[in-house]
Every structure is written in structure tokens, then in C-alpha cells.
Structure 1
Amino acid sequence: MDNSKTVLITGGNKGIGLETGRQLGHLGFTILLGSRDETRGQEAAAALNAENIIAQAITLDVTDPDTIQSAVQQIDDQYGLLDVLINNAGVSLDGGVPPSQLDLINLRRTYETNVFGMFSVTKAMLPLIRKSQSGRIVNLSSGLASLSLNSDPESEFYGLNLLAYMSSKTAVNALTVLFARELRDTSIKVNSADPGFTSTDLNGHRGYRSVEEGASIVVKLATLADDGPSGGFFDENGVMPW
């Protein structure tokens, strides 16, 4: 892998984001860890540097337009382009309550990060990704985004009814499809990744999958060959139902 290839990972200082950076770093990518907290971002980058990975922290809050534009300028100044964008940053704020008891503020806050933040970063970074010969955009989704599975009583997570989180990830899949459609005549590929129920801060580490397992599909989609798919929704086993 050409180590001149750059990847920006939002929410990259921990969990699946950091592990994705580790795996891509060992493939030769230059890793840019987007982090709201500068100190935590620097600590995460230092941990990757200790594994002989080229990594640096970039202050980036997906809900803050100023930090997004600052990140764009920093990447442009240092690298001139971006090969891969991994939209990993996300929140889960339902608190386990049913839809009728969800506070509107928590629905809005969820969409601010999971949907509007993802959109804002993608739109801002797209001019840099267009400069890459093989741009890739990977959006972190979830099996809980699948309307087919959510309406199937036999589905593993049918008992969950988290309006804010689940619907926001369904919206993420819509962003994937529509950006992929716009970019279909370019070399850029846009896909959604389902890492499975992975143990992270997002779920209080209740997930039964390791971050190594969760990151595997993200890495696969970030390193797709030129004849790979675009506009799809995948887990490590293949295509996921919408």
C-alpha cells in the first residue's frame, strides 16, 4: 500500500475509529484522527506512532462548522488531497426509552452528530477527495438502520426500539445511496458499513464483538479495488438489507 494515501477518521481517538486507524496504518496509510478533544486525539495518535504508524491528530467536531473548515484547510495545506474519509463519529442518546417518551432535544442532538455532522464533513471534504485517484467514503451505519430487519420479528434486535439512534442510521444509509448516485461517474466509492454489536463507549461496552472485528468491514470498504461496489450497505459477511 502506498503510504502517501491519507485517511481521515472522524471520532478517531477511540473505539472502532482508532482500531480502523491502526489496521489501515499497518497497511501503510497515513492516519488523520479527527477528535473533538485535542489532548485525547494527540494521545491516540501517539499510541499509533508507537506502532510505527504515521498518524496525527486533527481537531474536528462534526457539529462545529469552524473546526470542519479548519480541518479541510489543514489537510489541504499538508497533503493537498484526501484519499479516504471514514465518517465514524456518532452518538446514541435514546436512553432506552420508547419513541413516545423520547425528548425532542435528544432526537435533534442525535441527528446533529449522526446525520447533519456526517453530511457537513462529507460535503466539506469532497473537493479534497475528488483530487484522489481512488477516493473512498465509508459511513458507519448499523444493522439497527435496516428497515427490513427492524420490521422482522425474527431479527436479533427486534426488541430494540430506539427512535433517535436507529432512524439516524437509516438516514445515514440514505446519504450513502444519494452521494453514491451523484458520484457514480467518478472514481469515488461511497458505502455504509455495519460493524455489528461491537463493545464501545457508545453502548457502554455491552457489545459482544471486539473493535478488531468491528473495524474489519470498515477497512475492507476503505480499501476497495477500482471495480468494487458503491452505494451499498455491508457487514463482514456481505450485503445487508436496507
Structure 2
Amino acid sequence: MSPDLLLRIGSATLDTMYMVAIAGLVGSLIGLPIGIFLATSGKGELFPAPNVNRAVGLVVNATRSTPFIILVVAIIPLTRLITGTSIGTKAAIVPLTIATIPFVARLVEAAIRDVDKGLIEAARAMGATPMQIVFKVLLAESRPALTLALTMTIVSLIGYSAMVGAVGGGGLGDLGIRYGYQRFMPDVMLVVVVVLIVLVQLVQSAGDRMARRFDKRSRKT
């Protein structure tokens, strides 16, 4: 493999990491409060608003059920409006972020709903406000699950970033398609796959370690 191709692989890897980092950060910052709302706004919960809960849930479900490659094409006008282009690394961040938001929201909702209801009732009995319960009970107790949820989000984004290369999104996916597939260079495709696998393994290992650190049960054993 030529030095030029090695440089392209290195550059594509950095592009992929950039896309995943920005989309993961922005999508998580938006998806986290949505997930908290979904988990606490049902009938009889901390912030009861069942009608709004159902409406938000429908939007989240509709976005999640849309295949990612279709989502990328469907929001091209929005992507152009935000970034001024529909191709390249910056353009790819828009659909990646939109796909991340509902994904994170449902994972956060599941993590919060898994918190022992007895802790919530105990906090209420001690006079804690709903916001105090959210921050000091729900988020604090669900940190291991939230960490794993974020890890799963980043791993999924790595896969999505490769998929967006099919429509000129840049990164490793774009490199693999243009060189590995269109130019019949299986060695490039193999290297792209190996790099993606390494990235996923690194993210998963780091996420698992952080989750164990946050897990009170693992610290006691």
C-alpha cells in the first residue's frame, strides 16, 4: 500500500472521529433532556404531562424507525441550509446528529426507568423537589446505565459514519467505497474494516471501564 493511501486512511480516520465526536456530543446534549422528560412525564410521575409525553414519544419513534440512509437523503435540504453543502464531513454531522437524538432519548429513558422506585419515594418523603429527585436520585443512580448508553451511542455512530460515506459523507466509509469498492482495492477495504473494528473495541472497552467505576455494586465486591 502506497504512502499516499496510508495518509488518506489516517485523514479519513480523523474525519470519522470528528464526525462521531461532534454528532455524539450535540445529539446527547439534546437527547438527554428528552429522555429524562419521557421517563418522568407520564401519568402520576414527577412532571405529569401524558399528552405531551405521547406526542414526543411518537416523534422519537418516527425518527428512530426511519432507516438511516433514507434519513440522510430526506434531510438534504436541511443539511444544505445548515452547512451550505450536502457532501463532506461537516454535512454528514447533520444526519448523524438527528439520528443520535432519538437513540439517546430512548436509552436514557430506559436507564432512568430502571432506577428503584423506592429511592424516588424515599426522596419524596424527605421533601425533595422533582428537580432534586432528577439530579440527585435518577441521574446519580443511573450513571452506570447512562455510561453504557453513551457507549452504545458512540459505537452505533461509528457504524452510521461509515454508512454515510455511501452518499459522499467523508471519513472511512467514503474511503472504503471510493477506493476499496469502486477502484477494486480490497486491501484498502480490509484496512478500513480493521480500523473501524479497532475504534469500536476502544470505545466499548473505555465505556465498560467507566460503567464499572460508577457502579456501586462492583465497588463493594
TM-score range, shorter chain: under 0.3
* Structure with the higher strand share, 1 or 2: 1
Which of the two has higher C-alpha Rg?
2
Query: TM-score by structure 1 length?
Result: 0.26
Query: TM-score by structure 2 length?
Result: 0.28
